Structure 1
Amino acid sequence: MLRQYELIDKVRSYDPTADEALLNRAYVYAMRMHGSQKRASGDPYFAHPIEVAGILTDYRLDTATIVTALLHDVIEDCPVSRADIDQLFGEEIGELVEGVTKLSQLEGNSEHTRQAENLRKFILAISKDVRVLMVKLADRLHNMRTLEFIKNPAKRERIARETLDIYAPLARSIGCHRICTELEELAFIHLNPVARDAIGRRLSALRQEQGGAVSVVSDEVLGKLAEGGVPARVFGREKHPFSIWRKLQRKSIGFSQLSDIYAFRVIVDSEEDCYRALGVIHRAWSSVPERFKDYISTPKRNNYRSIHTTVVGPRGMRIEMQIRTEAMDRVAEDGVAAHWRYKNESYGFDAEAQAAAGGRDPLVNLRHLVQLLEHGGDVDELVEHAKLEMFLDQVFVFTPKGRLVSLPRGAMPLDFAYAVHTDVGDTCIGVKVNGELRPLRTLLQNGDVVEVIRGAKPVVPPDWRSLTVTGRARSAIRRHIRQSEKDEFTRLGRATVEQTFERAGKRLADVSLRPALDRFATAAEDDLYEAVGRGRVTPTQVLDVVFPGLNAHDREAATAQRRIEGGAGARLYVRGSGLTQGLTLHFAPCCSPVPGDRIVGILDPEGAGLAVHTIDCATLAEYEDREEVWRDLQWTPEAERNTISRASLAATIKNAPGMLGQVCTVIGEAGGNIVNLRMHHRQRDFFDVDFDLEVKDAKHLTHIAAALRANPSVETVDRAKG
C-alpha cells in the first residue's frame, strides 16, 4: 500500500502544481471513513482506494481524479453524502465521486439487467467526463488483482465475465491497452484456467527454444536501421495468453500455426522516420503479402497509430514489426490517459495537442456508443449492439468524395449508409461498390468506394437487420420498425373504435375523446388509438367512457362479436409487412385460418390480392422457390379478442341411435355453433361427419375437439382444411 507521502510524490513528479493539501486531506479522510472495514483478503479496506489512486498516478491523471479515486467508495460504504463531499472537496470532485458511486451501485442488480444497465449508465456518465471511466477501470483492475480472495466461485466467475465483456472492451475503446490487457489476462485466469495453463506451458517451451533468437533478431534489425541512418529502439514482445486464445478460437488454427507470438516494436523519433524505417526493413527482408497495415495515415477508432508489417526476417523467421514514435507508443499503451498535460499553466486533458499530432478525438468511440442510446430499445439490444461496436476489428472504406469511414470488419453497405447519416440509411434502396451495382449483403473490403443510391422516402424492411452488423445501423432499423408498427397500430385502433361507435349508432367525428384520454392516461388521440390497436384498451371501454349512459340495446350491438371475413374489413384482423394501402385480403379456403393460427400471406402476382394461409398449409409448397410473394403476417389484438371465425372438424362416430345428438350437444356445451353438417361414408358400425363451426379462435377449436375425443361415441376427431 502506498504511504501518504509516496502517493503525493508520484503525483508531483508529473504535476508540480498539484494541490498537496487537497491530496493529504483526501488520503486521511478515506482512511478515517473506512476505519475498521476489511476486504475479503483481510486487508484494511482503505488500502483499496489508495491502490486505485496509485494505479491512476501511473497514467499521470490530474489531481481531481486522484482525489476521486481516494474517495470513490465513501458514499457507498460509509455514512457520507454527496453534500459532504461538495463541502469538503468541491463540486467537481463531488460530481466525479457520485458518478463512480452510481456505477458501483448497479452491481447489486439482477443478472438479467445488471450488465445492460451498468453499460447504459457507464456510457451516459463517461460521455460527460471520461475521468469517471478511468477511476472505475482502475477500481475494477485492483479488484481483479485480488479476486482470488472471494470464496464464492459463482461470484468470481460473474465478476470475471463482466470484466471480459464490459470493462476490458471499454478500456480498449479509449485506447488504454495496458489496462485492457491486464483485465483480460486476470479474467482469463478465472474463466478458463485449464486453457491458460496449457498456453502458458507452450509459451515456456517456446521461450527455451527461441528466447535467444529474439535478442539476436532485435540486434540485427537495429543494425540494419543504423546502417540506413534511422535512429531507433528495437525490442521484442511476447503475445499474451488470452490474446493467443482469442486468435486460436477466431481463426480455428493450432498453436504451431501462429506467426506473431513474438513481435518486434521499432520506436523512432518522428513520423517521417516511421516510413524510412519501413523502407529499410522491406529492403532488407521480404515482406509477407497482405500483412501490411498503415494505422498512421488511417488511425484506429481508439486513436491507435502505428505501421504493422510482417517480413521473412533473419534465420527465415516470420516476424511482425510495429513501427511507431514515442508519442504513438504512449497513446497505444495509455490511450486517452496519454493526453493529460500542461496547457496555459494548468494540468488536464489536451484534445487540441492530440489532434495536432495527427490523431482523432480519443473519445470518438464513446460518443459513438452514446448514439445507440438515442434510439431506445430494450437493455438486451443495447448490450448486443455495444459489444458489436467494441469487439469487432475494422475495415476502412471511402465515400465518393474521399471521406474515410471506419466500420467493423464484416460490415455491409447498410452499415456504411447509417454511419454516414441515419437519413441516408433510412432512404437507401441500393448501393454501388467501386462503381458497380452490388447487393446489400456484400461484405465491404478495405479501400472500397461506396456510393449509396437513395429513394424519395424512408423504406426500412424488417429483414434489413440481417444485413447489418453495427449497433448504430441495427438500432436505427429497430427504431424505424417501431415507428412503423406504431403507425399501423394507430390505424387499426382508429378503425376499430369507429366501427364500434357505428354499431352503437354513434359517430366518432361528433364526439370528444377527452374523457377517454384522461381515463386511460394518454396524451393524444393517436396514443389512445395505438393502445386500442395493441389490445391494451378495448374499443368497448372507450365507448363506455365517452357514453357512460348508453342504453342496453346500443351497447349490445356495439359489443356483439364480429365475423372475420375477407375484403376491406380484414385489415382489422390481420397486420404485417407488405400490407400496402389498397391491397385486398382474403382468407384462403384451403386452410381456413382462425385467430391463434400462425399465418403467412401469399401475394397473387395476377392482382388478386393477398391470400392469408396457415403456416402449415400444404398449398405453400407451391411457393417455396418464390420468396418475393411471401409476406409475414400476424393477427391483431382485435381479431384475438372479440371475433368469431368459421372452421371445420372431421369426426368418425359410432353408428348407433342418439350418437349424433350427443356429439352436437358436446359441441354446443363447449361454446361452438354448428352452421353446417355433412354425413358420408356411413357403414354398419361407424360413419364420418364434417362439422362447419363458428369458433372464437384456434384455442377454442382445440377445446371443442378435445371435448369430442373425451366422448365414448366419438372414435376420431381432426381439424378439416379445404
Structure 2
Amino acid sequence: MHMDARSLMAAILHDVIEDTRTAKDLLADDFGKDVAELVDGVSKITRIEFQSQEEAQAENFRKMLLAMASDIRVILIKLADRLHNMRTIGYLSRARQRAIARETLDIYAPIANRLGVRQWATELEDLSMATLYPLRYRILSEAIRKRRANRKAIVEKVRTAIVKQLEQEGVQAEVTGREKNVYSIYRKMETKKLSFEQVYDIYGFRVIVDKADTCYRVLGMLHSLYKPIPGRFKDYIAIPKANGYQSLHTVVFGPFGVSIELQIRTREMHRVAEAGVASHWLYKTGDGGDTMRERALQWLKDLLEIQQKAGNPHEFLEHLKIDLFPDEVYVFTPNGEIKKLPRGATVIDFAYDVHTDIGNRCVGAKVNHELVPLRTTLKNGDHVEIITSAVGHPNPSWLDYVVTSKARAHIRSYLKNQQVGGAMSLGSRLLEKALSDLGGSLSAITDAQKTALLKTLKLKTWNDLLGEIGLGNRLAAVVARQLVPVKTEEEEGGFLKLFRRRRSAGEKRPTLAIRGTEGVVVTYARCCRPIPGDPILGFLSAGRGIVVHTTDCPNVAKYRKHPEQWIDVRWEQQIEGVFPVAMRVEVRNQRGVLAQVASAIAEQEANIDAVSFDDRDGQYTSMEFTVEVKDRAHLARIMRGIRQNEAVVRINRKKG
C-alpha cells in the first residue's frame, strides 16, 4: 500500500509490546516516539480479555477508536494484522476460527470498507465466509467458476464494444473487467432471496479516464451503446461517500439479456477507491489538506464521542453497527452545505448532526421553507432549517423516532443528567394518565401488584419504574395495561379486536384496535403482511405502537430477545374486509400468460393491488402480485387456481 516508513516499522514491530517484555520507552529510544505510539496503539486493542464475546468486541473497538482518533495508521496496521490472521486461521481450533471470523465479518471488514480499503475488505469478507460457511463458500465459488467459463465470450464482447465506442469518440480510457467477490454475491442472494441464476450483475467493467468531466461524457456514450436500467444510476462524484470514494455507477442491459454494472472514474478517484485512507500516504497532496482523510477522521471522532456517551458495551455496539451499515440520504443546510444522514432520519437527527446544542435547544423546523413536525422524515434534496429556543430541551418522546446513534446518545445523555426527581414526577404523571384511560388510578394499585410487576420487569423499586417511564425507556400505556386487572376475555390486553364495520369508500382493510389500550397505535408489519388465519405476534415498538407480525416472519427473530415487549394477539372469529398479501409467480414466457394468471385471481373474487415483472432470462419471467384476500383459506384457493395453469412453474407467498 506504499505506506510511510514509520508505518512499516510499526507494522513489523506490532506484537513486540504485547508478546515480549519490551517496554514502550525502549521502542521509542530505538525507533522513535511515533513508531512507539503506533505499536502501543495496536497493542491496546487486544490487551484485555472479556467474558462475553459481544462485550469484547465493543470494548476492543473502544480502545481502537481511542488510538485511531489521534493516528489513523493504527487501524490500518490492525486491519493488516487481522488480514494475516484470517489467511492463517486454519491452524486454530474450530471454535476459535468461528469466533475470529464472526468478529472479522461484523467489525473489521465493515471498517476496512468504510475507510475505503476495499481491496482488504473483500478479502476479509471472503476469508470469513469460507471459515463460517465452508460448504456454501465452496459451492458458490465453483458455480462462479463455471459461469465465468460460460460467459467469457459475452464479457469479452462487451469489453471490445466499450473500447471501440470510446475510441470512435476520441476518448483515451482504460477499460477493465471485474468480478464481484463471493461474499457480496452471497449477501445479495440472501437479502433479496435470489437463486444464483437470478444474480446477473456478477461481472462488471471499470472505465478509468483522465478528468472528472470526461466521466460524464463517457456515461452518455455508454448509455447510447447499452440501454440503462432505470433507478440503478448513482453519482458519487457530485456527492462522495463518507470515506472519500468517488465514481459514477450505472447498470445497463448488455447483450443476451445480461445486466452489467459499469463504474466510471478518474485515475485519482481510482487510487482513493483502491487504497482509501492509505492513499493519503501514497501521494501527499500539495494543498496541505486531504479532504478524504479528513472525512474518515471525522467519522472516527464521531464514533468516539458516541462511545463516551453510551451507557454500556451492548448499547455502544448497537450504535456502532447502525453507523457501519448506513443507507444514506443527503439534505441541505440553509447555507447550502450538504449533510449526509441515514435513510429514515428525522429533523431531530439533522439538528444533532449540525451541533449538539442545536439539537438540545430545537423547538421547531422548516423543511423546504414550510413548518413541519419534529418527527418528519427527511428525503434526498430537502432544505432543512432548525428553529431553536433558549428554553428548549430534549423530550423523552424524541427517542421514539430518532434513528442516528449520535442523536440517540446525546438525548439519552441529557435525560440521564436530568434530576432524578423530575424524571420520576414525569413518569408518575404519564402512568396516571394511562391508568385513567383504562378506568383505573395509581392510588388503586396495591403493593402486591407493584411488587409482582417489578419482579417481572426486573426492577428494584417503584421509583425506578417511574424513572424508566419518565426517561422514555418504557411506554406508560403498556405498564398500565400490565397493572389493570383483566375484566373479561374480550378486554384482555393480549387480544386483538377487529371493529366490525363496513369499509368506507377507498378503505382497503378494517381498522385494528386493542381494547383498553387507548393511545397505542396498532399497525401491520409490511415485511410479512399478516392476514386472518396466520399465527401472529404483537411487538411493542417505540414510535410505532404495537406492530403485528406473523410468527414465522424472519424479522421476528430479533424481538425474541425482548419478551417483556411481546403482546399475545389473536384474530377475532368473524372478520370483515380484505387484506393485502404478496405472491411471487414464476412462469414460462408465452403469449397471454399474465392475462391467464390475472383471470385465475379474478375467478376467486380477489382484486389485484399491484403487479411487477422481473425477466430472469429469455425462457422464464418472475411476476409479483399484491392481492386483496379475506383470509388464509381465500389465499389458498387463489394459489390453487393459479397452479392449474400449465405455464406456471412455481408460486409462493412472499414474507420478510
Out of 190, 200, 220, the position equivalent to 1:279 is: 220
Out of 288, 299, 314, the position equivalent to 1:365 is: 299
Q: 8 Å contact 1:303–1:335 — kept in the other structure?
A: yes
Consecutive unaligned residues of structure 2, counting only runs of 5 or more, are 455-464, 470-476, 494-514, 522-541, 543-656
Residues 79-94 of structure 1 mapped to structure 2, 5 A cutoff: 79-94=21-36
Cα shift readout 1:596-638 (whole Å, capped 9, x = no counterpart): 2539999xxxxxxx9988623348976423349xxx9xxxxxx
Residues 592, 119 of structure 1: alpha-carbon distance in 2 compared, 3 angstrom cutoff: closer
Q: 8 Å contact 1:123–1:370 — kept in the other structure?
A: yes
Identity of aligned residues (%): 40
Q: How far apart, CA to CA, are the structure 1 residues paired with 2:120 and 2:108? A: 9
Out of 482, 485, 488, the position equivalent to 1:617 is: 485
Out of 286, 290, 303, the position equivalent to 1:354 is: 290
Residue 124 of structure 1 corresponds to: 66
Q: How far apart, CA to CA, are the structure 1 residues paired with 2:246 and 2:24? A: 40
Structure 2 residue identity aligned to 1:598: L
Q: How far apart, CA to CA, are the structure 1 residues paired with 2:17 and 2:128? A: 28
Residue 149 of structure 1 corresponds to: 91
Structure 2 residue identity aligned to 1:257: Q
Residue 488 of structure 1 corresponds to: 420
Cα shift readout 1:451-485 (whole Å, capped 9, x = no counterpart): 4454553443434334133221221122122123x
Deviation at 1:298, TM superposition (A): 0.5
- Give the stretch that moved more between structures: 310-319 or 96-105: 310-319
Residues 267, 614 of structure 1: alpha-carbon distance in 2 compared, 3 angstrom cutoff: closer
Deviation at 1:369, TM superposition (A): 1.3
Residue 290 of structure 1 corresponds to: 231
Out of 258, 275, 280, the position equivalent to 1:339 is: 280
Out of 350, 357, 380, the position equivalent to 1:416 is: 350
Q: 8 Å contact 1:306–1:323 — kept in the other structure?
A: yes
Q: 8 Å contact 1:460–1:480 — kept in the other structure?
A: yes
Q: How far apart, CA to CA, are the structure 1 residues paired with 2:296 and 2:342? A: 17
Q: 8 Å contact 2:366–2:385 — kept in the other structure?
A: yes
Residues 480, 272 of structure 1: alpha-carbon distance in 2 compared, 3 angstrom cutoff: same
Structure 1 residue identity aligned to 2:420: E
Residues 208, 166 of structure 1: alpha-carbon distance in 2 compared, 3 angstrom cutoff: same
Residues 668-707 of structure 1 mapped to structure 2, 5 A cutoff: none
Deviation at 1:200, TM superposition (A): 1.6
Q: 8 Å contact 2:101–2:132 — kept in the other structure?
A: yes
Structure 2 residue identity aligned to 1:402: G
Cα shift readout 1:469-525 (whole Å, capped 9, x = no counterpart): 3221221122122123xx024898xxxxxxxxxxxxxxxxxxxxxxxxxxxxxxxxx
Q: 8 Å contact 1:339–1:350 — kept in the other structure?
A: no
Deviation at 1:109, TM superposition (A): 6.0
Residue 381 of structure 1 corresponds to: 315
Cα shift readout 1:365-417 (whole Å, capped 9, x = no counterpart): 21221221342421111111111111223222222432211122343333222
Q: How far apart, CA to CA, are the structure 1 residues paired with 2:225 and 2:441? A: 76
Indicate yes or no: 2:451 matched with 1:596: yes
Deviation at 1:209, TM superposition (A): 2.0
Residue 198 of structure 2 corresponds to: 257
Q: 8 Å contact 2:154–2:255 — kept in the other structure?
A: no
SS in 2 for 1:397: strand
Residue 445 of structure 1 corresponds to: 379
Q: How far apart, CA to CA, are the structure 2 residues paired with 1:76 and 1:109? A: 20
Q: 8 Å contact 2:280–2:293 — kept in the other structure?
A: no
Q: 8 Å contact 2:27–2:36 — kept in the other structure?
A: yes
Residues 571-586 of structure 1 mapped to structure 2, 5 A cutoff: 575=428
Indicate yes or no: 2:359 matched with 1:425: yes
Q: 8 Å contact 2:363–2:392 — kept in the other structure?
A: no
Q: 8 Å contact 2:87–2:127 — kept in the other structure?
A: yes
Residue 133 of structure 1 corresponds to: 75
Residue 131 of structure 2 corresponds to: 190
Q: How far apart, CA to CA, are the structure 2 residues paired with 1:134 and 1:68? A: 11
Indicate yes or no: 2:296 matched with 1:403: no
Structure 2 residue identity aligned to 1:278: L
SS in 1 for 2:206: strand
Deviation at 1:273, TM superposition (A): 1.2
Structure 2 residue identity aligned to 1:626: G
Deviation at 1:67, TM superposition (A): 0.7
Structure 2 residue identity aligned to 1:382: F
Residues 325-336 of structure 1 mapped to structure 2, 5 A cutoff: 325-336=266-277
Q: How far apart, CA to CA, are the structure 1 residues paired with 2:250 and 2:35? A: 45
Deviation at 1:66, TM superposition (A): 0.7
Q: 8 Å contact 1:174–1:363 — kept in the other structure?
A: no
Residue 18 of structure 1 corresponds to: none
Residues 395, 195 of structure 1: alpha-carbon distance in 2 compared, 3 angstrom cutoff: farther
Cα shift readout 1:535-580 (whole Å, capped 9, x = no counterpart): xxxxxxxxxxxxxxxxxxxxxxxxxxxxxxxxxxxx69x7475899
Residue 653 of structure 1 corresponds to: none
Residues 244, 453 of structure 1: alpha-carbon distance in 2 compared, 3 angstrom cutoff: farther
Residues 454, 168 of structure 1: alpha-carbon distance in 2 compared, 3 angstrom cutoff: same
Q: 8 Å contact 2:277–2:293 — kept in the other structure?
A: no
RMSD (Å), alpha carbons: 3.4
Structure 1 residue identity aligned to 2:111: L
Deviation at 1:272, TM superposition (A): 1.7
- Give the stretch that moved more between structures: 252-261 or 467-476: 252-261
Deviation at 1:64, TM superposition (A): 0.7
Cα shift readout 1:651-691 (whole Å, capped 9, x = no counterpart): xxxxxxxxxxxxxxxxxxxxxxxxxxxxxxxxxxxxxxxxx
Consecutive unaligned residues of structure 1, counting only runs of 5 or more, are 1-58, 344-348, 493-570, 603-609, 633-722
Q: How far apart, CA to CA, are the structure 2 residues paired with 1:359 and 1:100? A: 20
Residues 193-212 of structure 1 mapped to structure 2, 5 A cutoff: 193-212=134-153
Residues 222, 438 of structure 1: alpha-carbon distance in 2 compared, 3 angstrom cutoff: farther
- Give the stretch that moved more between structures: 441-450 or 591-600: 591-600
Q: How far apart, CA to CA, are the structure 1 residues paired with 2:286 and 2:129? A: 35
Deviation at 1:133, TM superposition (A): 0.9
Structure 1 residue identity aligned to 2:485: C
Deviation at 1:212, TM superposition (A): 1.7
Residues 490-505 of structure 1 mapped to structure 2, 5 A cutoff: none
Deviation at 1:179, TM superposition (A): 1.0
Out of 95, 112, 115, the position equivalent to 2:37 is: 95
SS in 2 for 1:395: strand
Deviation at 1:435, TM superposition (A): 4.7
SS in 2 for 1:287: coil
Residues 381, 587 of structure 1: alpha-carbon distance in 2 compared, 3 angstrom cutoff: closer
Indicate yes or no: 2:442 matched with 1:587: yes
Structure 2 residue identity aligned to 1:616: V
Q: 8 Å contact 1:351–1:361 — kept in the other structure?
A: no
Residue 496 of structure 2 corresponds to: none
Q: 8 Å contact 2:481–2:517 — kept in the other structure?
A: no
Residues 375, 359 of structure 1: alpha-carbon distance in 2 compared, 3 angstrom cutoff: closer
Cα shift readout 1:169-220 (whole Å, capped 9, x = no counterpart): 1112211111111111111111122322232232123212212211110111
Structure 2 residue identity aligned to 1:625: E
Out of 463, 471, 475, the position equivalent to 2:405 is: 471
Residues 592, 328 of structure 1: alpha-carbon distance in 2 compared, 3 angstrom cutoff: same
Q: 8 Å contact 2:219–2:264 — kept in the other structure?
A: yes
SS in 1 for 2:151: helix
Deviation at 1:281, TM superposition (A): 1.4
Residue 626 of structure 1 corresponds to: 519
Q: How far apart, CA to CA, are the structure 1 residues paired with 2:287 and 2:450? A: 60
